[in-house]
């Protein structure tokens, strides 16, 4: 612990950083500060001063407020509370919704410019819903304290905060959330309200470490600590998908439909060959493979790859009407390595003519997966990204392998948080 930790400083907040924090400087040092908005002057407490390159701080009070500041949409996360008592999970809730999207746009544009040398004019598109960005979550995980009390973690901590409401949840979820019950012996409680059928409240005992094996195990992506499976149905447009209640599904009630349409738009029809070896990587229960199939017809060949065997079983069922669809249970890098090692000349040609849908976890596809894809050389890659920095890093890796970013859209799938989803198309230069 350094000599500044725990001390309060007045700082000018200059811009936004990735991760839901803003940037300030104090005596020449960069400080990442939570609960602040660029343009503000705040009183902040230093929480971490061990690194030479930057410190971390939390806002205690606002001295000069931004014109974009509003009362927090969740009283449990308000600046009126001590920082350690603020509920996590709505870190942009004190910012006007249109300015939230502008800040997310800046993070996406800055990441691509800095890491990949790419300039983008993409704005962050709103989804249908409340003007203040509440009432959209169909899935909520509450953590459980040692005494059995459920609630969100405090921001950047594993301390459970008791709450009396869940404003980001859809009303049907908020109505059944067991916020005043006790769950002794459980690690967490999942509340899931599918678009078809009954909701679920599922207490679970596995820890985060137990979940780390899934391809999608990060943040909202990946829940493999199932216990008994509970089959649910989600409807997207006219199509229904079967999955496990704790399996991965988009959290915003309009996200699956938004991404279906965005991926369909992102595929360049002039480069798409329905009879080629098309791939859907980190495919979950087949949502995006079905999006491709629905756009291009039931003769499409597409293989969806996912490490979670229960999700793959559901994907096979969800894609049954496409005779050329297959669902493979494998880690993506191992699947691609196997293709590279065993594909003959005919299959290599088919892969080169193919389209790849790539929807990795928050950590991105990474060097190995990008290298394997570049070696296979598909005609186009449609990359669905939930982390702008990981996307920018991977775009740079693809660029080194001869692929350029040919289109990009961004969507506000997580209002009142810092998260932003992007759909990018990469084609051979």
217, pLDDT greater than 60: no
211, pLDDT greater than 70: no
With CA atoms as reference, report the closest residue to 417 among 45, 94, 181, 142.
94
Q: What is the DSSP secondary-structure string of 413-425? A: SSTTSS--EEEEE
Told to judge if 386 belongs to the known catalytic residues of this protein, a careful annotator would answer yes
225, pLDDT greater than 60: no
pLDDT tens for 345-357 read 999 999 999 999 9
214, pLDDT greater than 70: no
Residue 286 · residue 319 · CB < 8 Å = yes
User: In whole angstroms, how far apart are CA 204 and each of 152, 188, 217, 376?
Assistant: 15, 6, 16, 41
Question: Rounded to whole angstroms, how far apart are CA atoms 218 and 268?
Answer: 30
Rounded average pLDDT over 318-347: 97
Residue 401 · residue 378 · CB < 8 Å = no
Percent of the chain with pLDDT over 70: 94
Q: What is the DSSP secondary-structure string of 378-398? A: -SEEEEEES-HHHHHHHHHHH
Residue 208 confidence (pLDDT)? 39
DSSP state of 152: P
Residue 206 confidence (pLDDT)? 53
User: In whole angstroms, how far apart are CA 157 and each of 86, 87, 140, 167, 265?
Assistant: 10, 10, 18, 21, 39
DSSP percent split of the chain into helix, strand, coil, nearest 5 = 25, 30, 45
Rounded average pLDDT over 167-178: 98
Question: Rounded to whole angstroms, how far apart are CA atoms 204 and 227?
Answer: 8
Q: What are phi and psi of 183, to 5 degrees?
A: -130, 65
pLDDT tens for 144-169 read 999 999 999 998 899 999 999 999 99
Rounded average pLDDT over 114-141: 97
212, pLDDT greater than 90: no
92, pLDDT greater than 60: yes
Confidence tier at 226 by pLDDT (50, 70, 90) = low
- Three-state DSSP state, 150: strand
Confidence tier at 228 by pLDDT (50, 70, 90) = confident
Confidence tier at 1 by pLDDT (50, 70, 90) = low
Confidence tier at 229 by pLDDT (50, 70, 90) = confident
Question: Worst-scoring range by mean pLDDT, 21-35, 204-218, 337-351, 398-412?
Answer: 204-218
Buried b (16+ CB within 10 A) or exposed e, 309-323: ebbbbbbbebbeebe
219, pLDDT greater than 50: no
Rounded average pLDDT over 116-130: 97
Residue 40 · residue 66 · CB < 8 Å = yes
414, pLDDT greater than 90: yes
Question: Rounded to whole angstroms, how far apart are CA atoms 258 and 236?
Answer: 9
Query: Which H, E and C letters describe 156-170, residue by residue?
Result: CCCCECCCCCCCCEC
pLDDT tens for 234-280 read 999 999 999 999 999 999 999 999 999 999 999 999 999 999 999 99
Confidence tier at 429 by pLDDT (50, 70, 90) = confident
Residue 70 · residue 96 · CB < 8 Å = yes
pLDDT tens for 57-77 read 999 999 999 999 999 999 999
Residue 86 confidence (pLDDT)? 98
Question: Rounded to whole angstroms, how far apart are CA atoms 168 and 252?
Answer: 10
375, pLDDT greater than 80: yes
Rounded average pLDDT over 207-226: 40
Provide CB contacts within 8 A for 170, sequence distance 6+. 135, 136, 137, 138, 193, 253
Catalytic residue among 37, 251, 300, 386: 386
Provide the token pair at 124: 């962050």
Provide the token pair at 214: 């899934």
Confidence tier at 91 by pLDDT (50, 70, 90) = very high
Q: What is the mean pLDDT of the chain?
A: 94
User: In whole angstroms, how far apart are CA 226 and each of 151, 246, 311?
Assistant: 20, 6, 12
Question: Rounded to whole angstroms, how far apart are CA atoms 27 and 49?
Answer: 13
Rounded average pLDDT over 32-42: 98
């Amino acid at each position: 612990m350094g000599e500044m930790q725990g001390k309060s400083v007045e700082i000018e907040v200059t811009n936004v950083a990735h991760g839901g924090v803003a940037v300030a400087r104090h005596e020449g040092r960069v400080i990442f500060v939570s609960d602040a908005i660029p343009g503000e002057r705040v009183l902040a407490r230093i929480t971490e001063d061990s690194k030479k390159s930057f410190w971390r701080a939390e806002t205690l009070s606002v001295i000069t407020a931004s014109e974009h500041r509003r009362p927090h949409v969740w009283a449990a996360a308000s600046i009126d509370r001590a920082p350690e008592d603020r509920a996590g999970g709505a870190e942009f809730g004190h910012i006007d919704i249109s300015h939230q999207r502008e800040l997310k746009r800046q993070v996406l544009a800055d990441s691509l410019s800095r890491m990949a040398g790419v300039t983008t004019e993409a704005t962050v598109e709103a989804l249908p819903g409340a003007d203040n960005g509440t009432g959209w979550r169909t899935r909520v995980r509450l953590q459980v304290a040692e005494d059995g009390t459920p609630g969100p973690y405090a921001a950047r901590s594993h301390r459970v905060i008791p709450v009396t409401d869940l404003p980001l949840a859809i009303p049907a979820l908020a109505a059944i959330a067991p916020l005043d019950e006790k769950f002794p012996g459980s690690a967490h409680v999942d509340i899931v309200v599918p678009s078809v059928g009954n909701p679920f409240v599922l207490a679970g005992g596995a820890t985060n470490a137990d979940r780390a094996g899934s391809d999608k195990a990060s943040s909202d992506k990946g829940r493999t600590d199932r216990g008994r499976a509970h089959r649910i149905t989600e409807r997207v447009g006219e199509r229904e998908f079967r999955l496990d209640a704790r399996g991965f599904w988009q959290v915003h009630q309009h996200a699956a439909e938004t991404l279906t349409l965005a991926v369909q738009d992102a595929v360049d029809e002039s480069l798409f060959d329905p009879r080629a070896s098309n791939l859907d990587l980190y495919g979950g229960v087949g949502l995006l493979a079905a999006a491709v199939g629905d756009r291009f017809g039931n003769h499409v060949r597409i293989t969806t790859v996912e490490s979670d065997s229960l999700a793959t079983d559901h994907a096979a069922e969800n894609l049954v009407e496409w005779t050329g669809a297959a669902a493979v249970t494998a880690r993506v890098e191992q699947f691609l390595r196997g293709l590279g090692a065993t594909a003959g000349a005919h299959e290599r040609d088919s892969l080169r003519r193919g389209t790849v849908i790539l929807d990795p976890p928050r950590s991105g596809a990474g060097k190995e997966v990008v290298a394997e894809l570049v070696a296979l050389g598909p005609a186009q890659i449609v990359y669905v990204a939930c982390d702008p920095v990981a996307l920018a890093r991977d775009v740079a890796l693809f660029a080194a392998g001869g692929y350029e970013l040919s289109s990009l859209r961004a969507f506000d799938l997580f209002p009142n948080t810092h998260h932003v989803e992007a759909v990018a198309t990469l084609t051979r230069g």
